[in-house]
């Protein structure tokens, strides 16, 4: 997939220029000089030869087939040329030219036409408005970057071209290498989803990094990422999350930026490792691309100094994802035998300041051979007599043997130059300070844990979808967007929720008859499409215990409703079972413009209002996700039961959330809804939707 872009057999550079100051020259030169093996066709209206290659006035003049065309021409010239490319049978386009959506107005229209042409000829396109694409596997540098990156196993995509430049410049002397390097630009066609799909199971990429400012197709992104992350770790940094950042992002690439919490949920549900800073992004890239995956979460630390050992131990315990390994008695005996008596043979293993490579060898071998150790971090402070280069060599040699990730933190710089080079050559990620090594391992452990979860299981309930469809149609026909209480009840019923028994009464006597059937006490509520805030007008009364009370209340509520709004259509007075006490839950849905329905769960009342204690997931929600969602609210202990209370019916809450997830997935027109409260009884006793509100688009 996307072969034409990453592995074309021939490339045309449209706008190739003989003038070395022009971008079109730079792009052609990059393709020529970095070892690309396919055929290269400079396209230029007049030149007959550029950089020793025969040039052509257009792609249509090229006698052989062209897989990829790279455009470095002014925006207004792009369309006819793309048309020619289509006719020529070109399959891939990289449009470097700027002047499209990002400039607004005319540019926007131009980009729409461009995309339309691309689609018509079934081509694929990167850009417009990008730095280009680099593929080190095929040695294709189809960009105007000043540098060719080192070869490596990191696949990188970025929505910011300047960031690409900076990353290339920064990575080169660090020895960090890339397999593919893509500047997404305006991502009119090829976007983050296309690249995730293209790079799934790519044998040349051990990790995928993404710098994103906005996501074009939220649900598609989640679906693609769910798949990819089961094979390949994806680390993403999402910018433009805060309000001010969003403003900057919008003015930058005109992309629509989703709300922070939707991203949080999307990344978590799809198994993407979210990085908060650029440093962290590359800390992880080094670890994932250089070292094998951990097979557990226990870390051993070997150090030649106490202080850094403590720093690393602290970072480990604080991580919440990795822990200090407990060494076996055999390992400890071995270390005691082979290390001097002053050494600390427990984890962190301290080989002491005067240690040379022989002692490091003993400690590294013993810890890596310990079955209870899943990863090793080797710390070094340069002291008198420390043979840093030899130690670096020993680490590389032993790391290759055991299939466990090994990380280094050689602390210093002045005296470490050569040893840092050796570490990098042997693919041992090194971190100037130990905390970052540990934090990277912790992310790896979290990724591993997520990947080991069973495939998400999506439940499908038997529901009466058609009934809801018709109801929504009726509501819309009546010109409303908010459903009345009875309508909301009907939707809940159609999707299998338990509701308090209730019926509409048209007179005091009928109310009393219904109440007798339902059983006392009952609740009574005005039912009118024109009265939304029922409580405010005294239109709700609870705990009515006998027929007299019910009759009186019917009369009173009706009187109040008429007084409040003489024109109001009154459907009757609802007489409802009074739900016995239970724990009150809120289940709410809002619709994120990029990712779709975001479902919130929390304890009702002040827990939600004051403590904002809700957990969010994007629908569709899997069985596993709803379980973790409910368990992640801070007040979950109140559901599990404190002070000897029995547990609440958590399974019933899960089911309600899953049914809501199905409802809002079936009906994208629901822009907002909440169940508040869902009254949850003790384990095995179910949950009842007492009140629900639904708003359509």
Residue 171 or 194 with smaller CB distance to its own copies: 171
Is 583 a residue that touches its own copies (CB under 8 A)?
no
Site for its own copies in 512-571 (CB under 8 A): none
What residues have CB less than 8 Å from 366, skipping those under 6 apart? 331, 334, 335, 338, 349
**Helices of type H across 521-574:** 547-564
- Given a contact cutoff of 8 angstroms between Cβ atoms, the answer to whether 125 and 90 are in contact is no
What is the nearest approach in angstroms of its own copies to the Cβ of residue 224? 23
Pick from 292, 382, 496, 521: which binds its own copies (CB under 8 A)? 382
**Residue 502 corresponds to which tokens in the numbers above?**
């209730």
Residue 70 phi/psi, 5-degree rounding, is -110, 125
Residue 245 or 496 with smaller CB distance to its own copies: 245
Is 52 a residue that touches its own copies (CB under 8 A)?
no
**Residue 523 corresponds to which tokens in the numbers above?**
């609740």
Cα–Cα distance measured from residue 192 to residue 198, given in angstroms and rounded to the nearest whole number: 10
Is 178 a residue that touches its own copies (CB under 8 A)?
no
Pick from 18, 292, 412, 521: which binds its own copies (CB under 8 A)? 412
- Given a contact cutoff of 8 angstroms between Cβ atoms, the answer to whether 221 and 266 are in contact is yes
Q: Are strands 207-212 and 150-158 parallel, antiparallel or unpaired?
A: parallel
Is 635 a residue that touches its own copies (CB under 8 A)?
yes
- Please work out the total of residues on this chain that contact its own copies, with binding judged by CB under 8 A: 83
Pick from 211, 221, 263, 667: which binds its own copies (CB under 8 A)? 211
CA atoms 367, 369, 373, 375: torsion sign? positive
Closest CA to 302 of 409, 399, 194, 187: 409
Site for its own copies in 660-679 (CB under 8 A): none
Residue 98 or 570 with smaller CB distance to its own copies: 98
Residue 40 or 299 with smaller CB distance to its own copies: 299
Is 261 a residue that touches its own copies (CB under 8 A)?
no
What residues have CB less than 8 Å from 525, skipping those under 6 apart? 485, 534, 539, 540, 541, 557, 573, 574, 576
What is the nearest approach in angstroms of its own copies to the Cβ of residue 273? 17
Is 245 a residue that touches its own copies (CB under 8 A)?
yes
Pick from 248, 532, 545, 697: which binds its own copies (CB under 8 A)? 248
Q: Are strands 10-14 and 39-43 parallel, antiparallel or unpaired?
A: parallel
Residue 348 or 539 with smaller CB distance to its own copies: 348
What is the nearest approach in angstroms of its own copies to the Cβ of residue 25? 11
CA atoms 414, 415, 421, 424: torsion sign? negative
For 646-681, b/e burial (b = at least 16 CB within 10 A) is eebbbebbbbbbbbbbbbbbbbebbebbbbbbbbbb
Site for its own copies in 137-166 (CB under 8 A): 144, 146-147, 158-163, 165-166
- Given a contact cutoff of 8 angstroms between Cβ atoms, the answer to whether 193 and 217 are in contact is yes
What is the nearest approach in angstroms of its own copies to the Cβ of residue 255? 10
What is the nearest approach in angstroms of its own copies to the Cβ of residue 682? 18
Is 419 a residue that touches its own copies (CB under 8 A)?
no
Q: Which stretch binds its own copies (CB under 8 A): 78-86, 354-362, 395-403, 633-641?
A: 633-641
Site for its own copies in 72-131 (CB under 8 A): none
Closest CA to 301 of 363, 386, 372, 381: 363
Site for its own copies in 318-347 (CB under 8 A): 318, 324, 344
Q: Which stretch binds its own copies (CB under 8 A): 225-233, 242-250, 364-372, 493-501?
A: 242-250
Site for its own copies in 278-317 (CB under 8 A): 278-279, 304-311, 313-317
Residue 346 or 559 with smaller CB distance to its own copies: 346
Residue 499 phi/psi, 5-degree rounding, is -125, 155
What is the nearest approach in angstroms of its own copies to the Cβ of residue 22? 11
What is the nearest approach in angstroms of its own copies to the Cβ of residue 641? 11
| Helices and strands counted in the chain (H then E) | 24, 29
């Amino acid at each position: 997939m996307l072969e034409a872009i990453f592995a074309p057999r021939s490339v045309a550079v449209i706008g190739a220029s003989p003038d070395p100051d022009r971008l079109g020259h730079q792009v052609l030169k990059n393709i020529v000089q970095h070892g690309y093996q396919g055929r290269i066709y400079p396209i230029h209206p007049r030149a007959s030869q550029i950089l020793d290659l025969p040039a052509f006035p257009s792609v249509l003049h090229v006698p052989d087939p062209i897989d990829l065309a790279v455009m470095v021409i002014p925006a207004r010239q792009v369309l006819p040329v793309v048309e020619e490319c289509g006719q020529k049978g070109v399959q891939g386009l990289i449009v470097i030219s700027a002047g499209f959506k990002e400039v607004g107005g005319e540019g926007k229209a131009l980009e729409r036409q461009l995309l339309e042409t691309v689609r018509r000829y079934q081509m694929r396109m990167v850009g417009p408005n990008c730095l280009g694409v680099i593929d080190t596997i095929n040695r294709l540098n189809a960009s105007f970057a000043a540098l060719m990156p080192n070869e490596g196993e990191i696949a990188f995509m970025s929505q910011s071209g300047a960031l690409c430049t900076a990353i290339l410049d920064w990575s080169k002397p660090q020895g960090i290498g890339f397999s593919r390097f893509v500047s997404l630009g305006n991502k009119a066609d090829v976007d983050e989803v296309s690249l995730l799909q293209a790079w799934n199971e790519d044998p040349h990429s051990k990790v995928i990094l993404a710098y994103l400012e906005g996501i074009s197709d939220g649900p598609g992104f989640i679906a693609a990422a769910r798949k990819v992350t089961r094979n390949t770790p994806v680390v993403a940094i999402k910018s433009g999350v805060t309000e001010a950042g969003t403003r900057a992002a919008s003015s930058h690439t005109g992309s629509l930026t989703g709300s922070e919490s939707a991203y949080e949920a999307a990344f978590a549900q799809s198994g993407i490792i979210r990085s908060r800073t650029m440093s962290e992004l590359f800390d992880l890239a080094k670890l994932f691309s250089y070292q094998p995956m951990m097979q557990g979460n226990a870390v051993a630390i070997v150090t030649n100094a106490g202080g850094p050992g403590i720093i690393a131990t602290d970072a480990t315990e604080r991580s919440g994802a990795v822990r200090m390994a407990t060494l076996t008695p055999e390992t400890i005996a071995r270390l005691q035998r082979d290390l001097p008596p002053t050494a600390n043979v427990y984890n962190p293993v301290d080989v002491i300041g005067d240690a040379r490579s022989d002692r490091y060898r003993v400690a590294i071998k013993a810890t890596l051979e310990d079955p209870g150790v899943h990863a090793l971090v080797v710390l070094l402070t340069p002291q008198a007599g420390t043979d840093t280069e030899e130690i670096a060599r020993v680490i590389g040699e032993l790391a290759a043997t055991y299939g466990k990730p090994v990380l280094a933190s050689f602390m210093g710089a002045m005296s470490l130059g050569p040893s840092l080079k050796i570490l990098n050559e042997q693919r041992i990620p090194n971190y100037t300070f130990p905390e970052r090594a540990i934090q990277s391992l912790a992310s790896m452990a979290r990724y591993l844990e997520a990947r080991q979860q069973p495939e998400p299981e999506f439940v499908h309930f038997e529901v009466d979808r058609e009934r809801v469809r018709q109801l929504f149609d009726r509501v819309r026909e009546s010109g409303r967007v908010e459903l009345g209480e009875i309508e909301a009840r009907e939707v809940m019923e159609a999707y299998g929720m338990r509701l308090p028994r209730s019926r509409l009464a048209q007179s005091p006597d009928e109310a009393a008859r219904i109440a007798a059937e339902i059983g006392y006490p009952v609740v009574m509520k005005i039912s009118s499409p024109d009265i939304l805030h029922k409580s405010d007008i005294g239109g709700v009364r609870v705990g009515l215990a006998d027929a007299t009370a019910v009759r009186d209340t019917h009369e009173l509520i009706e009187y109040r409703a008429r007084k409040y709004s003489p024109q109001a259509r009154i459907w009757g007075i609802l007489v409802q079972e009074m739900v016995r006490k239970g724990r009150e839950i809120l289940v709410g849905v809002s619709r994120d413009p990029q990712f779709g329905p975001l479902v919130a769960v929390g304890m009702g009342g002040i827990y939600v209002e004051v403590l904002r204690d809700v957990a969010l997931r994007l629908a569709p929600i899997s069985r596993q996700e709803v379980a973790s969602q409910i368990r992640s609210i801070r007040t979950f202990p109140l559901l599990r039961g404190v002070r000897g209370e029995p547990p609440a019916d958590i399974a019933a809450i899960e089911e309600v959330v899953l049914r809501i997830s199905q409802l809002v997935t079936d009906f994208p027109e629901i822009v907002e809804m909440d169940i508040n409260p869902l009254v949850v009884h003790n384990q095995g006793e179910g949950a009842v939707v007492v009140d629900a509100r639904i708003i359509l688009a």
